[in-house]
Amino acid sequence: MSILVTGGAGFIGSNFVLDWLADSEETVINLDKLTYAGNLQNLESLNGDGRHVFVRGDIGDQVLVSRLLEEYRPRAVLNFAAESHVDRSILGPDEFVQTNIVGTFRLLEAVRAYWNALDGDAKTDFRLLHVSTDEVYGTLNASEPAFTEEHQYQPNSPYSASKAASDHLVRSYFHTYGLPVVTTNCSNNYGPYHFPEKLIPLIIHNALAGSALPIYGDGQQVRDWLYVSDHCAAIRAVLAGGRLGETYNIGGWNEKPNIEVVRTLCTILDELSPAETGKSYLEQITFVKDRPGHDRRYAIDAGKIERELGWKPAETFETGIRKTVEWYLANQAWVKNITSGQYLEWVEAQYS
Contact 187, 231 (CB under 8 A): no
- Of the pair 293, 341, the CB lying nearest ligand DAU is at 293
Nearer to ligand NAD, 89 or 284 (CB): 89
Q: In whole angstroms, how close is the CB of 288 to ligand DAU at the nearest point?
A: 7
CA atoms of 260 and 116, how far apart (whole Å): 50
Known catalytic residues are 134-135, 159
List the single partner that 86 binds among ligand DAU, ligand NAD, none, CB under 5 to 8 Å by kind: ligand DAU
Q: Could you tell which of ligand NAD, ligand DAU, none binds residue 265, using a CB distance below 5 to 8 A set by kind?
A: none
> Contact at 8 Å (CB) between 187 and 224?
yes
Shortest distance (Å) from residue 124 CB to ligand NAD = 27
60 binds ligand NAD (CB under 6 A): yes
Minimum CB distance to ligand DAU smaller for 7 or for 60: 7
Indicate which of ligand DAU, ligand NAD, none lies near residue 12 (CB less than 5 to 8 Å, by partner kind). Answer: ligand NAD
The closest alpha carbon to 1, from 216, 190, 239, 238, belongs to: 239
Measured distance CA(57)–CA(81) in Å, rounded: 11
Number of residues located near ligand DAU, criterion CB under 6 A: 19
Does 158 interact with ligand DAU (rule: CB under 6 A)?
no
Q: Does 32 contact ligand NAD by CB under 6 A? A: yes
Establish if 34 lies at the interface with ligand NAD (CB under 6 A): yes
Q: Hey, is 303 helix, strand or coil?
A: helix
Q: Is 198 left (phi over 0), alpha (psi -120 to 50) or beta?
A: beta
What CA–CA distance (Å, rounded) separates 149 from 246? 9
Q: How many CA atoms lie within 13 A of 143 on its CB side?
A: 0
- Selected from 14, 162, 188, 324, the binder of ligand DAU by CB under 6 A is 188
Contact 196, 130 (CB under 8 A): no
Q: By CB under 6 A, is residue 258 in contact with ligand DAU?
A: yes
Q: Give the residues across from 287 on adjacent strands.
A: 215
Q: Which of 21, 43, 59, 128 binds ligand NAD (CB under 6 A)?
A: 59
Q: Which of residues 2-31 bind ligand NAD (CB under 6 A)?
A: 6-7, 9-13, 31
- Determine which residue in the list 6, 15, 35, 84 makes contact with ligand DAU, applying CB under 6 A: 84
Tell me which of ligand NAD, ligand DAU, none is bound by residue 223, counting a contact when its beta carbon lies within the kind-specific cut-off of 5 to 8 angstroms.
ligand DAU
Q: Of all residues in this chain, which one has the CB nearest to ligand NAD in the complex?
A: 10
Alpha carbons 96 and 102: distance in angstroms, whole number: 9
- Pick from 35, 133, 229, 247 the residue near ligand DAU by CB under 6 A: 133
* CA 250/CA 230 separation, integer angstroms: 9
* Amino acid occupying residue 65: V
Residues 8, 113: Cα–Cα separation, whole Å? 23
Enumerate residues 204-223 that contact ligand DAU by CB under 6 A.
Answer: 214-216, 221, 223
For 187, phi then psi, to 5°, come to: -85, -170
Residue choice 85, 151, 236, 297 for contact with ligand DAU (CB under 6 A): 85
If binding is defined by CB under 6 A, does position 1 make contact with ligand NAD? no
Torsions phi, psi for 227 (to 5 deg):
-65, 135
Identify residue 53 by its one-letter amino acid code.
V
Residues comprising the chain, all counted: 352
Binding site for ligand DAU (CB under 6 A): 84-86, 133-135, 187-188, 198-199, 202, 214-216, 221, 223, 258, 291, 298
